[in-house]
Every structure is written in C-alpha cells, then in structure tokens.
Structure 1
Amino acid sequence: MMRAEGKAARSANRSSPWKSSYVAYGLLLGSLLVLLYLMVSTQFSYSQKATVDDAGRGMEEFSREQEEEEKAKAHTEPSTPRRQGNEMKSDNWEAKSQAKNEETAESDKFGGGTDDYNNVANTKPICDTSFGKYDICELAGDTRAQGGPGATVTLVSPRAPPKEWQIKPYSRKYLDGLKAVTVKSVPNPGDVPQCTTQLNIPAMVIELGGLTGNYWHDFTDVLVPLFIGARRFNGEVQLLVVNLLPFWVDRYKRIFGQISRHDIVDFENDDGAVRCYPHVVVGYGSRKEFTIDPSLDETGGDYTMVDFTKFLRHAYSLPRDRPIKLGDVRPLGGRRRRPRMIILERTNSRKILNLPEVIAAAEAAGFKVIVAGRPKASYDEFTREMNSFDVMVGVHGAGLTNCVYLPTGAVLLQIVPYGRLEEIARTDFGDPARDMGLRYIEYSVAAEESSLMGVFGKEHPMIKDPAAIHLSGWGNVAEWYLGKQDVRINVERFRPSLLRALEHLQ
C-alpha cells in the first residue's frame, strides 16, 4: 500500500510543471483575445456612431431645406385665409387673388398690366366648365380684356400653360343665340397687345340677352347671379357686358349702381381698347332657380337670399324691413289697422275668374286688399308700393317675382294651377320665398276649380291623369296647364289659407 501511494506521488510531482505552463499560456492567450475584442468593438461602435451622426445631420439639413422651401412658397404662392362679412372668401375664389397692396401695383410704362405673376392659382384650371348650366373663369394677375366682335380675355403668366376656352358668359349657356368670349392663358407678355387703359380693380364679363325681358328671368338669370358674382367687390368692379341692352340696364339702374360704381363697358363694341385688370371674372350663374345657396354658390361672403333682398331695399331706399305685427298694432281713431294684401291680377292665362269673391273673402278675414296688374308708375315707385304690403297673393307666374320687395317676414301665398305643378311652383317661388325669409303658403287648385274641366271633362287624361301628360312632354304641360288654364277659386276651400296668412302676422 505504501509503495502504491509513493508511486502516485512521484507521478504527480513530475506533471505539475507542465500544468503550470499550460495555465500561463492559457491566461496569456485569453488576455490577447479580450484585448482584440475590445479593439474591434470600439472601432465598430465609432463607425456606427459616425453613421448615425451623419444621418442625423442629413435629416437636419433636409428639414432645414424643406422649411426654407415652405417659407419661399409662402412668399410666392397665394395664401387661403377665410375672411368674414363683405370680404372675399379666398379659399374658393382667390387662392388666386392678390393682396391689397399687390392690387394697387402700377404697370410698367410698356403696358404690361399687373406684374405679380405668382398669384395664379396653379392648382385648378382658370375656367370651370364642368357645370351644365353655366361656366365660370377666374383670371388673377396680368389680365387683358380686348373687346369687339371677337372679344378676348387673356391671362399673362409664365406659370400658366397656354390654353384657350370659348365661354358664353350667361347664366344658361345652353341657350341658342348666345355669343362666346375667348378666354386664354399665355406665358409670354409679347404674345398679347399692350394695355391702353388700366384699372387696379377687378372686372366682370357678363352677357345679357338669353331670356332677359321675362320678369322672373330678369332676376333668376341676371340680377341674382350678378349679386352672387360681384357683391364681394363692394362696388369696386367694372362690368364688361356682351350684348348690352341699355334700356334694360336703365330699368334696373339702381341695382347696377349698387353693384358697380364704375362705367359699364359695351364690351362687344369696345374695338381698339386693351383694358388691363389685376383680376377678371368671366361668366356668372346660380345653382338653383331664383335663389342663393351659400353651400353651392361661391358668393365670396356667404351671402344669402335674405342679403339679396336687403340689398334691393337699400338700392331703392325702401322703408320697411318687417311686416305689420298684429299684436303690436294700436287702434287708430278707434279702428285697428289691417294688414295690407296685394292680389296680383293676370290678364292672359291663369286668371282668377271670380276675383271679386276672393277679394271679399280676404277682406272678411281682416285684410285691406289692393289688386294690381302691370305697373303704371315708374319702377322705383312700383318697388316702394310692393314694399308696403304684408301679404302677396297670386297665381303661379312671373308677377310673384315682386316678392323680392316684400319686407322680411311677410307672407307669399301662391295659388298653384291644376296639373301637378306643385314641384315647379316650389322650385320657382316656394323655396326662394323661404330663402328670402318670407312665410310661404301654397294653395293647390282642384280639378273642379280649373277651366280645363269644362274643356276636357273629368274623364280626359288632362284632368284624370296629369302625370301622364307630364310624361308626354313639356309641350302639353306648357300649352294647357300653364298657357290655357284659368282658375275659379272655391272661397270656402281657400279661407283656411287666408287665416294661415293672418296667423303668420301675429
């Protein structure tokens, strides 16, 4: 046993120096590996940091360049602030327009117009021809209007690509006989003649003619659209008129005088002149008949039909803004004042055959009744007379257009002839009356109250099936329901409508 232990001890003594050497070598090799790892890690970390720093500097430079680019745009492109009241709403009409100081900039001596080319709305076309009823063009910048038989309005701007439109500047472009104005954009001032005159105000190119001369169309097609397009300029706009009708303009001279404080230009006969403006509108119209819809019509000031009637009262110096209020009426000489009613008398079709009975029923209800036909006084005096009434009554027709002169809150009672004409009646007068702030009442004539009953008999489709007559075409509707029908009002059936009118004045 002792011999075995001695042998093992000797073996262990012989191997220990070798083991010590291995340990030393291992420690040295480990140290070298750790050092190498630290050196590589440090270099990689530095490279990574450099890359991140370079990327950060690149983003900072990109952001700074982008910010500088946006600042440059702010100086060269139009802003679109909203303005209130009578000022323009620039996001729709003048993203496009110049600031006031730009509008007053003078042209150079070579007749170049306004030098500011940067206010051109390059995000939408100059002309919008997408609507089937009318076209509108907005030219902001160096704009030159040349009259004559081939009237042309040209925008000069290096940012506007060459383009051309043929525009009929009337509110119903689909009508025959209208005259077109050429609207162009060109990049080079040398492509158009130099200015012969210049005004630092906007201009508006419109056309008369069309259906002008029909009283309802006078307002629906011209006067209301003109208010929509020009009121935002507060009188500082010049009208360039194609197919100028001097006698017609003279009839409505007070309205035109409020629209523009400047001379009207007979654009069609303005040969030889090159009129330069900082802004020109070509065309006008309204989305709905005989009314203004601020959500659809770009008025530049959120104007409504109530604003239009106020505008008329101001133009004609009409005294009454509100109708009589029965609860506030004091006895005068022992007798109470009665609300004034006008009944419009027609002389061709849609006559009230028993007018004396209707008058008697209205007087019995408590009204002071006046019957009016075609005005015999001057138009100014006529508007003043219309403004004096609290209630207007009439069979569907152009005479009801006079409701524009009633005070806000007055009553319009429309008698609708037989033949399913209610939708037409509401479109032409019912909805506009409500938009004017009037109280609207509709009385639909029954078959027994129509003169057509005696012509056709109750079994004829004209009486029995008006819907079929409408489907047969507008010609039959216009000829018979509108052109050859009179009415005999059943006063008992009519009396509730008179009482409703009275209630609206309480």
Structure 2
Amino acid sequence: MKARRNEGSKKPRCGGAAAAAWLLVPLFVLVVLKTDSLPELTRLRETIVTQVSVETLREHELRSKVSSSALESEAIVQQQQKLLEVAKLKAVNGAQKTTDSVAGAPPSPASSDAIASDGVEGVKDLRQEKETLAMKGEVDGSLRSLDVVAAPTMTKLSCNFSSERMNVCAMEGDVRVHGKVASVYVVGPSDDSQRPANGTVTIRPYSRKWEETSTMQMVREVAIRWSAKDDTGPPQCTVTHDVPAVVFSTGGYAYNFFHTMTDIVIPLFNTAREYGGRVQLLVTDHDRTLIFKLRHFLAALSVFPVIDFDADDAVRCFPLVRVGIESHKELGIIPALSRKGYTMMDFQAFLRSAYSLKRAWAPPANRTSGQRPRLLMMQRRKSRALTNEADALVAAREIGFEVVVAGPDVVKNMAKFAEVVNSCDVMVGVHGAGLTNLVFLPRSATVVQIVPWGEMKWACWSAFRDPTPDMGLRYVEYEVTAEETTLKDKYPRDHAVFTDPLSIHNEGFTKMWSIFLEGQNVTIDINRFTGVMRQIYQFVSIS
C-alpha cells in the first residue's frame, strides 16, 4: 500500500512540472521573436529550398541531355522546378512579413497553406500570361521569358581554332544573340581571363575553313563579343530561351549534295544530337530550299523551328550557345574527336529514325527462293555520264540483279529517295555527288565507285572509299582506262591528259576540274564490268 501511495504521490509532481514547462513556452517564443533566431531559421529554410531547387536544376540538366523520348519526363521536371521556385519566393516574402510583425501574434498554421496556394496560383498566372503571349506569336516552345529561373552565376567562353576543317566557340552563362547584326554577346567580368585580347573573335560557321579564299568567302562572319556586365554595349534580351543554341551556315557549297552532307548534316548531328531535340538551330546564309529539303533531318534534330539568323532582329538569350559545328573529315566522324564519342553508325541510325527507313542490315538474297538482290544505278547527265548505260543495265539484270535506276529528278525528293536507297543491296555510279546517298544504305550493302580517267583516285578515295568501312559498307572500285574515257575523242594519245595526268593537276584545281571531272564521260568495257558485277553478286546472295 505504501508503494502505491508513493507512486501516486509522484504523479502530481510530474504533472506540475509539465504544466510549468508548458507555461514557459510563451516566454520561449517571446525570446525567439526578440532575438535573431527567427531570421536564422528563415535563412535556414531559404537555404534548404535553394538547395532543393539547385538539385532540381541539376536533375533537369541531366534529363535534358537524354533522347527525345524523355521529353515528357523533362516537362514534368520543369513544372516541378517552377513550383519550387515560386514557393521559394513566397516563403521568403512570408518570412519577411513574419519578422516585421514580431510584436503581434505568431503566424497561424494556415499561413503555410496560404503560401502553397499562392504558389499554385502564381504558376497558373504565369501559364495564363505565357499562353496569351503565345497566341500573339511572341513565345515559342523553347522560351522561358516568363518562368522563374535563377540568373546564371558563371560565364564561360572556349574556342577551338586548331582544327584544319572548322573553328568553333562555345559560350555559357549570360549569352545574347542578335542575328541581324551577326553578333553573339558574352556578358561577364571585364577582367576575366577568358576575355579575348581585343574583346572580339570572329567565326565563319562552315566546315571548310582551309578554303579560305574561295568557299569561306561565301559564308557570313559571326562576331563573338565579350562585354562587361556594367557596359552599355550588350543589348537587352527581348526573348529568353531555356535550351542551348547552335549557329551554323547553309552557305558555301551547300547546293551540292556531297557538301550538304559532309559539311553541314554530319557535323550538325555531331554537334547538336546530344541535346535530344531540346536545342535551337540558328542558320546564317539561310537557304530556304535546302532547309526544306532537310526538313525531316532537322525536325528529328530539334523540336523547334529553324531560325533565320540573318533576318532575326530579336535579341535572344540562351544559357549556352555554340557557334560553328564540329567536322572531322569528308563524309565521316572520328569518334575520338567527337565530344560525345559519336560514330557514323550512330549517324546512320539517326537517319533511319528521321526518315523511317526499314532496313539496318542487308541480308544476302536467297537465290533458291527466287530472291534477287536490288542494284541501284546512279545516273548522271551533264558530265561523267555512262554513254552505254543501257548495256550496263542489261548486263546487271542478266547476272541476276533487280535493277533500280535513279536519275537526277528522282533524287530531288530526299525523303522518298532515302527509302529507295535503303531498299537496295548494291549502289553503282561514277564518282559524283549522287554517291553520297550511300549514307542511307543498310549495313553490309556494297558501293561500286566508277573512278574517272585522270589520276582521280585521291579524290574518289577521300570522298567515298575511306568513309565506307565506318558505315559497315563494302567498297568496290572500277577504274576507267584510257580506252573507256571520251577524252580520247578530244585529245591525242600523246597529250599530257594521257601521258602525265598529274601535270594537269599541278596546273591548278580549276584546270583539273574542267578536264577530268566536267570534261569527260565514260564508256565502260561491258565485259570487264560484267566480271566485276558477277563477283559482287556472289557476295550479296546465297543459294
């Protein structure tokens, strides 16, 4: 009984202590409100929100680099980022109001609900305002001018002028692009070590810089100007994008399909593919016809419409801008030099996706089941044409090929012709731009290049022989003899054209071009041609 009484006697004393502790709570709150503890707590909350926002931004950057199939997930991350940023601003404002009213009652629990509610309403207001501007044509899908986004804290500028094929510069931070005046402004500290010696560097964003006095003179020069933050020089942003930008040219020799592919399309893939479609393309020397021709490729590379750089009077601000595109060699990519390690097989896979091509591989045709390998003959009309093409086609059919003929009119529709090429097992043609369509061939297909007379192997090898292994293609060469060229009808056999063709090369590119490329057609030896084609037939078919 005593034990029970003792235990019972302890309970009131414990209850009294608890009651006393609760009576001290108001005093503790008053002390907190009268000291710097509340601002410290507020700052702690701001720090936590900021860290969460930074982590979300980092996650967004990582997700923005994945393939276009992840765009829906990226949109969700962007929406979460908006909510966090708006909530952060509201939280800071709410904390300030609480500090200002320390003499009054502490904020009620409902105040946090009000902040969250205001954050949602703020996002709704932003969305409504953005939709209104979009209806007016002032906002496109790559813009973030109405989003709550932290200002860039670091400016970076790096340029590479060491390549023989192209110059490139990459800028990150506060970067402003004014296309109409061909200027890119990099805004950073005036004493920054990255600042160019004279404050400006210039680039012609086309991949053939060694042809300085010819090709490159057809390409508009873009100035990259370093501007201090307190300068009056850099123009104010009129449009803000939340994606990187790539500036390139469709000038130079872009009208020639070989140069379109080797100087623009492949380097552009190598430069912009890593952004998974979330990249804005800006084109100087804008060729409307070429842009239309490449529309399937460009639409697969970027979800945003191409901007005509020269005609664009907006001052567009980007978090990152690349001026110039990364080119490594004729019709190819060197993976060791590619920033993302891309290969030509990666490029071909991208083309198959962009043009909905069905075949990645060309399996041997089964002769027993009646299958015939498809042979594509590339026709030429103005120069290097086959004068006895009809006989060559008959020979190919007799060997067992299903023959498809592609004239200049057929290849104009790039998307449709890509499907034709992809359906074939063998492509045959005299050296020329038409053979560039080999990029659409399935792997293990065969390319037969007919090399014109005149010691032209160096050009033919560089353009079409050397690139084929990287694309998983077989290469076969048919070199024209002096008896097979129509030059024999123009020059005597003791002329340098036959006795010393390299001396013609030494007289200059124009002379060589006019004689050996533009000045001859080819009459192939049908018997020799048939022998070559029989060997190829054995490669591409089985019994």
The TM-score bracket by the shorter chain reads: 0.7 to 0.9
CA shift for structure 1 position 429? 1.0
Cα distance in 1, alignment partners of residues 340 and 538 from structure 2:
34
Give, as a single letter, the amino acid of the residue that structure 1 aligns with 2:332. T
Taking the TM superposition and a 5 Å limit, the aligned residue runs for 1:80-479 are 115-118=151-154, 120=156, 126-148=158-180, 150-158=181-189, 159=192, 160-161=194-195, 163-173=199-209, 174=212, 175-188=216-229, 190-191=231-232, 192-271=234-313, 273-296=314-337, 298=338, 300-326=339-365, 328=366, 331=369, 336-376=370-410, 378-479=413-514
What secondary structure does 1:294 align onto?
A: coil
8 Å CA contact retained: 1:205, 1:241 = yes
Tell me if structure 2 keeps the 8 A contact 1:113–1:144. Answer: no
Superimposed CA distance per residue, residues 6-63 of structure 1 (whole angstroms, 9 cap, x where no aligned partner)? xxxxxxxxxxxxxxxxxxxxxxxxxxxxxxxxxxxxxxxxxxxxxxxxxxxxxxxxxx
Aligned AA (1:388) = S
Counterparts of 2:145 and 2:416, CA distance in 1: 49
Cα displacement (A) at 1:255:
0.4
Retained in 2: the 8 A contact 1:343–1:369?
Answer: yes
1:484 Cα offset (Å): 1.1
Letter in 2 for 1:277: F
Residue 159 of structure 2 aligns to which amino acid in structure 1? C
Letter in 1 for 2:310: E
- How large is the RMSD of aligned CA atoms in angstroms? 2.9
Q: Deviations over 1:403-452 (max 9, x none)?
A: 11111111100000011111110111111222221111111111111111
- The offset of 1:476, in angstroms, is 2.3
What is the CA distance between 1:157 and its match in structure 2? 2.5
The amino acid that maps onto 1:354 is N
Cα distance in 1 for partners of 2:283, 2:372 equals: 46
Q: Distance in 2 between matches of 1:114 and 1:166?
A: 30
Structure-1 separation of matches of 2:145 and 2:327:
40
Gaps of 5+ in 2: 1-53, 68-76, 86-142
**Per-residue deviation at 1:347?**
0.7
What amino acid sits opposite 2:162 in the alignment? Answer: S
Supply the AA of the counterpart residue of 1:322. W
Partners of 1:375 and 1:382 within 8 A in 2: no
Distance of 1:270 and 1:357 partners within structure 2: 54
- Give the distance between the partners of 1:474 and 1:499, measured in 2 at CA: 36
Residues in 2 aligned to 1:490 and 1:444: alpha-carbon distance in whole angstroms: 11
Which letter does structure 2 place at the counterpart of 1:275? R
Q: Indicate conservation of the 8 Å contact 1:393/1:414, yes or no.
A: yes
**CA separation in 2, counterparts of 1:225 and 1:138?**
15
- Measured against aligned partners, the alpha-carbon deviations of 1:448-477 in whole angstroms (never above 9, x if no partner) come to 111112321322110111122222222221
Write the letter of the residue equivalent to 2:202: Q
SS in 2 for 1:357: helix
Task: Work out the CA distance in 2 between the residues paired with 1:434 and 1:375.
Answer: 29
Letter in 2 for 1:195: C
| Identity fraction in percent | 36
Q: Deviations over 1:86-129 (max 9, x none)?
A: 769xxxxxxxxxxx99xx89899999986333363xxxx62222
Look up the SS of the partner of 1:486 in the other structure: coil
Q: Distance in 2 between matches of 1:225 and 1:108?
A: 28
Provide the rounded CA distance (Å) in 1 between the counterparts of 2:144 and 2:276.
28
How many angstroms apart in 2 are the aligned matches of 1:250 and 1:412? 28
Q: Is the 8 A contact 1:358 1:491 kept in 2?
A: yes
8 Å Cα contact 2:293/2:413 also seen in 1: no
Amino acid at match of 2:464: F
Could you say what secondary structure the match of 1:356 adopts? helix
Which amino acid is 2:182 matched to?
A
Q: How many residues align?
A: 399
Distance 1:222 1:108, change over 3 A: closer
Do the aligned partners of 1:113 and 1:195 also contact (CA within 8 Å) in 2? no
Aligned to 2:539: 504
Aligned to 1:12: none
- Relative to structure 1, the CA distance from residue 484 to residue 112 in structure 2 (aligned partners, 3 Å threshold; closer, same or farther) is farther
Q: TM-score, normalised by structure 2?
A: 0.68
For residues 454 and 413 of structure 2, the distance between their equivalents in structure 1, rounded to whole angstroms, comes to 36
Instruction: Using structure 1 for the length normalisation, give the TM-score.
Output: 0.73
> Secondary structure at the residue paired with 1:400?
helix
SS for the counterpart of 1:489 is coil
Q: Distance in 2 between matches of 1:262 and 1:238?
A: 6
User: d(CA) in 2 for partners of 1:109 and 1:214?
Assistant: 39
1:482 aligns to 2:517 (yes or no): yes
Runs (5+) with no aligned partner, structure 1: 1-74, 89-99
Separation in structure 1 between the aligned mates of residue 255 and residue 505 of structure 2, nearest angstrom: 27
Change (3 A) 1:343 1:110: closer
Cα–Cα, structure 1 residues 161 and 487, in superposed 2: closer, same or farther, change >3 Å? closer
Aligned equivalents of 2:260 and 2:227: distance in 1?
36
Spell out structure 1 runs of 4+ moving beyond 4 A.
Answer: 104-114
Q: Structure 1 114/133 Cα, relative in aligned 2: closer, same or farther at 3 Å?
A: farther
Q: CA deviation at 1:395?
A: 0.3
